[in-house]
Structures are given as C-alpha cells and as structure tokens.
Amino acid sequence: MADLSTNVRFIKGIGEQRAKALEKLGIETLRDLIGWFPRKYDDRTETKRIADLAPGETACVEAMVATEPRLSHIRKGMDLVKLRAVDESGVLDVTFFNQTWLKNNLHVGETYIFYGKAEGNLLRKTMASPVVEHESRREVTGRIVPIYPLTAGVSQLILSRSIRQGLDQCADILPDALPDEVRQAHNLCRIGYAYENIHFPESPEALDLSRRRLAFEELFLFTLGLKRMRTHRETVSVPPCKAVDMGEFYAALPFTLTDAQRRCIDEAIADMRSGTPMTRLCQGDVGSGKTMVAAACAYFCVKNGRQAALMAPTEILAQQHYAGLAPLLEKLGVRCALLTGSTTAKTKRSITAQLAEGDIDFAIGTHALISGGVEFRDLGLVVTDEQHRFGVAQRSDLAAKGQHPHVLVMSATPIPRTLALILYGDLDVSIIDQLPPGREPVDTFAVPGSYHPRLYAFIRKLVAEGRQAYIVCPMVEENDELPDERKAVTAYAKMLQQEVFPDLKVAYVHGKMKAREKDAVMSAFAAGESHILVSTTVIEVGVDVPNAAVMVIENAERFGLSQLHQLRGRVGRGKHKSYCVLVSDNQNEETRQRIKVMTKTTDGFKIAEEDLRLRGPGDFFGQRQHGLPGLRIADIGCDTLLLREAQEAAEQLLERDPELVTCPATAQRLRELFTLKESTLN
C-alpha cells in the first residue's frame, strides 16, 4: 500500500514517462502530487446559448457540429481545423490551431461542449481553440475546473488525471496534522474533504471551506515550527560580549551614520551582550548603508577578542565589500582577508592557517568560507549579505565553524514588516528606513516601445558625458517552451551593437554563463571598459557601478514591483543624476498600477507594501530559498485574520504541550517541513 513518500512513478496510471515530466515541476512523491495546488479555477458549471455570448466573454456552449471539420495548412508549423456549430439560438464558427487530430474526432450531427473566449459580433459568433469534449464524456466542463502551474510536457489534463489517481491512492492514509480540538474549535473541515475539494470542488462553498482549512493548517504549522526554532535558540547560552567604546569606529568613518544605521548597530550590540546568540535580520533599501552596520558589528566582535566573517553571494560582491571595508578596519587594528573561489591555492593556504591561528580577525568571502578546509580559532560573528541568495543551510554551515556565533543577515529586498516576521520568523528584524544624505532619488519614467529611437539618443548623450547604461530584457518564451534568457540577451545586444551603437562597446551577461564569465563582464563594466550592459535580472543583486546613470527595463510589465525596484537600485549609486526608464506596450490594469507606483515613489518599503496589496506575497524569495517551508496556499496579503487565528492556536497548543507529545501527527509533519537539523536552529 502506498504512503505519502511513495514515488509518483509507482502510482497506478502514472508510470515512468509521466513521472519524469512531473519531476520537472518538483513533483516526486505522492505528498508533492496532492500538494500541487491550483493557481486559479475556471467556473465551467453553466452553459450559455450561442445568441447570449458577449464578445470577450469566456463561457461554455453546448452545440451540434453542423459542417464537416476542414483542415488547412497555412504555412509550416501552422495548421487550422475549422467547423461550424449550432444550437437553437444561433451559429458559432470554431477554429482550432495545430490540433489536426480533431478533424477526425469531431463528427457532424453530434453535440459537444465548447469552452473558450467568444469573439465576433451580434450576427456572427466565433471561438478560437476552445476546450472541447463530447456531451456524454464530460471531464473538463460542467464543473469548477482547477488550473495548475505547468511546465513543458505536462498539460492541465495530464496533471489533473495524475492528481485524481494520487488522491484515490491515499484517500484512507492522509494523516491529519491538525489536532482534533484545534480543527473543531476553528470550524475546519477534515483533511480528506479539504484535499478532494481543493482539486475537484463540488461547489464554490466546498472550495472555500477547503481553502480555508488548508491555509489555516499551513500558517499553524509555520508558526509552530518558527516558535520551536526560536525557543531552541533562546535556550543556548553564550558568554555575553563586553562593552566597547564605539567612538573610535565612528570617528574613523569619512561620513556620519544616519540615525537608522546607529539604531540598527545598537540593537545588534544589545543582542551580542545579552548572553544568547544574536540572529538578526538587517533590512534596508538599496544604498541605505547596511554594510556599515556589518562593519560596526565586526569591529565590536573583534574588540571582544573574537573573529568575524562576512559571506557574499558572488565573488565580485565579496571583492567590493573587501575593497570598501578592509582599509577602514585595518586602520583600527582589525586584520582583514579576502577568500573567494579565485584566491590562489598558495594564498588560500596562508589565509586558512592564519584564520585557524587567530591571526586574521575578519574574513570576507564567498562560499569558499564554508569549504571543508577553512577553520576559525574563535568565530564570534557571521554576516551573510543578500540573504535571499543563500539558504538557511549555507548560513548554518558558516555558523557551524564557531561555537554558537552571533548571526547578522543583511537583505536589500525591502519587505513589509508583517511579511518579514513570517518569512524570517526565526530572526529579530532591524530596519534601516533612511537613506544617507546627498543621495538623489532616481527619476523614473514609463514610455511605450515607440520611444526607442529617443531612448537610444538619450543613452548616447549620457555616454558622451562619460556615463554608462544598463538595459535589462526579460527572458523570451517560444512555443510554450521554457524561457530562453540566453537568446533574448545575446540577440538584443547584437542588434544594439551592429545597428544602434556600432561606435560604442556593448557587453552582455545572462544567468546561463559560468560564474567566472559573469564576474569578468561585470568587472569590465565596473571598470568602464564597456558603455552599455545588456542583461537579464542577474544584475538585480550585483556590483556597485557609481558611473552607471541610466537603467532601461524592456517589457517592464513582465516584472514584479519589488524586482523593478531592485533593478532601479543598480543606478543612482554615485554623484551623477540617474534615470530609470520602464518600456512597456502590453499593459493591463494591474500593470498600469504597478508602473505608476514606480514613477511616483523610490521608497522600497512603500513599494513592497503596494506589491503585497496588488499581488499578495507571491514568492518574495523563491520557494524554500530561505530554508523555511514555502507557503503554497496561504496568502499573507489576504489571510491576515486567518494568520492571527492560526498563530493564537499554535501558541495555545505549545503552552499546553510544548513537546507536542499528545499530537504525534503534528510533530511528524513539522519534522518533514522543517527539515533543518537541530544544530542549524541556533
């Protein structure tokens, strides 16, 4: 008999080939399969008469095929099947693209259900490529139909049938992670009913009940897991740090810190003096000065006789941190070293030996810091930069190099405080909500594609003044295949170089390049060796180029608000007036709102709040990047009341039963979701 960890290839009706396709979606086990929730639903319960169809409306029509389906070849790769269908009220002309098999599958005189978008006028109604099925074999019409996230090779029908098989297999073995008293106290349905009706809802009411139950469970387990992580951390004792006169550090800075920076430093120092390990998130907008907070904490730690380490996600960022921090700290007696993948073997051996002996106080580097050979004499502080590029596991690997070191996590992705407390529930949160004086806001404009000639002329003018430009283009999608970023970037860069800027140096960078190639291109751009850099969003977190004064974002409608803001943050980092231009032709109401917000404010926190309002929390960092279970069905933007309810229920349960002895199914599900080892929770 199957259990929830059974591989999907062993589920009846799925088999090897379909299992391989499902694996592309990350669906490997029966648990993954039934937990692959729909992203939306189509209500196909009602059918309309042809005469009642309104242009632009998506609806079901029950109609008889009145003419023999005709197949015509338009050009290579484009075949059409056309037919006419009728009911007692009118005529519907139907066209199918590249579905040649329908020519022999749809028969004159038989009645079918067509579901699609109606076009045409009052006299002549049309539908292009509708869903179609025989009136006697209804599978995807006549009900509320789930619409799932897909990948190449997996259709809605394949996924829906696979989930049906999965639910049938586990109908009797679904453990309920919610204790009975919690479920009853909050009027929640049983787990079997919830899974059945989230995938195959028998009515809108059943769907609402199921969604509420599953969202509550997700938030309840999330809260339980975070509270237990925090409790575990608070039971660990470390020798409290001694007071340090920070005046010498502040006096050495070539500028005055903002009040927000000083507040964050004070909060971190208070943590390090408390006797329990600090785990603090310092989040601030691009350019708000998080690095100086890290430098102050490193100085404080070293003056307490311990070592510090800062880990950045890319070599170029690590080099940048080293170039900015080492001269300042070495003047104050803090011995610094840079350790990355391209550090020579000889230098690496020397640095490793000095770290082990305690002759280096502050190591700045990349993942090279967590490689097996690196040991510290007494690692007291771990700083990770751009937290969403690291999993908790990597943060923990570095922390494991010391005895319960203090941990400071830096993120330039502003997120609303409510969301920060959920995503980073195992961390205390400090927010730098001020920019250093003298930083000019980046002027942001939205223009249609027809402005390209003027835009290119503007870039040429800025380059003539000695500035540089970024142009970001989204990945292209072809024939429902997966997006191809390489093709989008190289083709655009080639066109610019040959046709628009033949006398300038146009470089490009994309995510498919090897890390070293990317770093080389970015370093060359930073050094002023290229004028224009064409890129995908790999530059969202990247090198500091104070000379870059314009950011052009093509097809801006394809990016989320927070991502647009991150990209804009690549310019305006020097003394030059800077600009961000959002190019977009294809806008719906939500896109218009998003782009309007970008042109009205440069405050990352306001933008994040607006992003949350417009689209819900979505996936701020990518599922599981932060090492905590992703929210698959709960929406913090909409489920605030449910979140409060779930948090209260979790707190009450932990008060009654801190070790969850009376709730084995809850404890087991927590172990599956929070797969981190105990040692990584502090």
pLDDT, one tens digit per residue, over 205-251 is 999 899 999 999 988 988 888 777 767 666 677 889 999 999 999 99
Q: Is residue 631 part of a domain?
A: no
Amino acid 479: pLDDT? 37
Specify whether 392 is located in the same domain as 266. Answer: yes
Rounded Cα distance between 352 and 367, Å, is 14
Rounded Cα distance between 260 and 266, Å, is 10
- The pLDDT confidence band at residue 3, using thresholds 50, 70 and 90, is confident
Domain end residue (candidates: 601, 622, 646): 601
What does the pLDDT look like over 612-656, one tens digit per residue? Answer: 666 554 444 333 334 455 567 776 656 778 888 888 899 899 888
Q: Are 345 and 286 in contact (CB under 8 A)?
A: no
Mean pLDDT, the chain, rounded, equals 83
Identify the sign of the CA torsion 484, 490, 492, 495: negative
Domain end residue (candidates: 407, 432, 457): 432
Q: Please provide residue 507's backbone torsions phi and psi, each rounded to the nearest 5 degrees.
A: -110, 165
Amino acid 681: pLDDT? 32
Q: Is residue 403 part of a domain?
A: yes
Q: Is residue 650 part of a domain?
A: no
- The pLDDT confidence band at residue 402, using thresholds 50, 70 and 90, is confident
Specify whether 457 is located in the same domain as 395. Answer: no
Question: What's the whole-number mean pLDDT along residues 277-302?
Answer: 88
- The pLDDT confidence band at residue 483, using thresholds 50, 70 and 90, is very low
What does the pLDDT look like over 579-604, one tens digit per residue? Answer: 999 999 877 777 788 888 899 888 77
Specify whether 489 is located in the same domain as 370. Answer: no
Question: What's the whole-number mean pLDDT along residues 534-543?
Answer: 72
Amino acid 634: pLDDT? 74
Rounded Cα distance between 363 and 374, Å, is 11
Percent of the chain with pLDDT over 70: 87
- The interaxial angle of helices 589-600 and 561-568, nearest 10 deg, is 30
Name, in order, each residue with C-beta under 8 angstroms of 612's C-beta and a sequence gap of 6 or more.
416, 419, 636, 637
Amino acid 424: pLDDT? 60
Q: Residues 430, 435, 439, CA angle at the centre, nearest 5°?
A: 160
Q: Is residue 15 part of a domain?
A: yes
* Secondary structure, 3-state, 75-139: ECCEEEEEEEEEECCEEEEEEEECCCCHHHHCCCCCEEEEEEEEEECCCCEEEECCEEEECCCCC
Amino acid 391: pLDDT? 53
Specify whether 475 is located in the same domain as 575. Answer: yes
Specify whether 30 is located in the same domain as 64. Answer: no
Count of domains for the chain? 4
- The pLDDT confidence band at residue 557, using thresholds 50, 70 and 90, is confident
Amino acid 620: pLDDT? 43
Specify whether 400 is located in the same domain as 254. Answer: yes
Residue 435, token pair as written in the block: 């920019």
Domain encompassing residue 352: 247-432
Domain CATH number, residue 499: 3.40.50.300
Domain CATH number, residue 122: 2.40.50.140
33 vs 508: which has the higher pLDDT:
508
Q: Is residue 620 part of a domain?
A: no
What does the pLDDT look like over 94-105, one tens digit per residue? Answer: 999 888 888 888
Q: Residues 498, 558, 487, CA angle at the centre, nearest 5°?
A: 35
Specify whether 372 is located in the same domain as 408. Answer: yes
Specify whether 474 is located in the same domain as 498. Answer: yes
Counted residue by residue, the chain has a size of: 682
pTM of the model: 0.61
Q: Is residue 621 part of a domain?
A: no
Specify whether 179 is located in the same domain as 124. Answer: no
What does the pLDDT look like over 53-89, one tens digit per residue? Answer: 888 888 889 899 999 899 888 887 788 999 999 988 8
Characterize the bridge pairing of strands 279-284 and 428-432: parallel
Percent of the chain with pLDDT over 90: 30
Amino acid 629: pLDDT? 57
Q: Is residue 647 part of a domain?
A: no
Amino acid 414: pLDDT? 67
In the chain, the N- to C-terminal Cα span, in Å, equals 39
Name, in order, each residue with C-beta under 8 angstroms of 371's C-beta and a sequence gap of 6 or more.
none
Amino acid 482: pLDDT? 40
Question: What's the whole-number mean pLDDT along residues 11-19?
Answer: 77
Specify whether 167 is located in the same domain as 280. Answer: no
Specify whether 493 is located in the same domain as 349. Answer: no
Q: Is residue 238 part of a domain?
A: no
Specify whether 289 is located in the same domain as 164. Answer: no
220 vs 15: which has the higher pLDDT:
220
The amino acid sitting at 244 is V
Domain end residue (candidates: 411, 432, 453): 432
